[in-house]
Amino acid sequence: MSEVKHNWTKQEILDIYNKPLMELLYEAATIHRLHHDPNTVQVSTLLSIKTGGCPEDCGYCPQAARYHTDIETNDLMTVSYVKAQALRAKASGSSRVCMGAAWRNVKDGPEFDQVLEMVRTINKLDMEVCCTLGMLTENQAKRLAEAGLYAYNHNLDTSEDYYKDVISTRAFEDRLETIDNVRKSNVTVCSGGIIGMGEKLEDRAGMLAALASLNPQPESVPINALVAVEGTPMEDIEPISIWEMIRMVATTRIVMPETQVRLSAGRTEMSREGQAMCFFAGANSIFAGDKLLTTPNPDVNEDMEMFRLLGLNPQKPFTKISQPKTVEAEDSELQPLGEKPKWTRPGHNIERNEAAKQKAKTR
């Protein structure tokens, strides 16, 4: 059985994070290859279906109504416009459309009904659909599931200890409750956080410990680097280094081996070489498109050129998250030269051949 640990301590995670970089990368890359195809990356497109005017006070967010930022606000988009954007995303290589609305929580009524219709519409395009709409009740999660929602994003943002320094209008426990409500439906969970908000390394470890303690662990964990926006309380914070992002990705991969780790906000500040190191360390998902809700993102053509240079392939929609290798794929000596590894797609926590496990232990 492929073991997934749910009782990581902050100190254990810190010890991993602070390993010599080459040891950290080797361990993360080894675990990544045991659970995922290292040459496949899931590509999502993020679409802000309702921008600005949010009543919350998240210190990093330009969409908070109380901050004076230059973002253009817009009401909820029409279903036809969202469909057109989804078709454009699909043509550019995305397998998932993530729709974000600047709400504190979902309210039943015409606007939620409109979002449900968006979900149904995109689902018919043979694309995965994700939403991030704020807090969610159990009944609302079930309605989204019935409409065909594939994933729901609700980030923890940071550790429980540092959380109150970032936001006061919603409690850390509220975020966990929404994730629990999503788990009661058949919708997968996407939950991660942001680094570079002034937190300590212990807070990064605490966030990962909280995510890893969820059972099951989130199917997707976005790792964001703070994009400091003028007009927000965090506007003067200096960007983190690429090495911090690489270490965070590698640590996340080790702590949550079956999860897809997504490079999210902050990629515009990363070189191709830096992103390649993140993919090697275990990142296997990105957001494509020129914007992530309101912050800049690399052009999709740049991403596809990077994929070509690195030999990466976009993941097809509805692919099983965790894909342990067959014995033949793990034992490269038995494969004909030049033949691609054979991959099983059994899903979560599948027992692997004992010979393969022994092979992995000796590496």
Catalytic positions are: 54, 58, 61, 98, 130, 190, 262
41 forms beta bridges with 314
Q: Which residue type, as a one-letter code, is found at position 67?
A: Y
How many beta carbons lie within 10 A of that of residue 313, not counting itself?
14
Tokens 């965090």 sit at which residue?
A: 234
**Cis omega (within 30 of 0) on the bond before 216?**
yes
Give the whole-angstrom CA distance, residue 131 versus residue 134. 9
Both tokens assigned to 38: 């290292």
Whether the Cβ atoms of residue 147 and residue 185 lie closer than 8 Å to each other: no
Whether the Cβ atoms of residue 104 and residue 169 lie closer than 8 Å to each other: yes
How many beta carbons lie within 10 A of that of residue 323, not counting itself?
20
Tokens 């590509």 sit at which residue?
A: 43
Helix or strand run (H / E) with residue 273 = helix 272-281
- What DSSP character marks residue 269? G
Whether the Cβ atoms of residue 144 and residue 152 lie closer than 8 Å to each other: yes
152 forms beta bridges with 131, 189
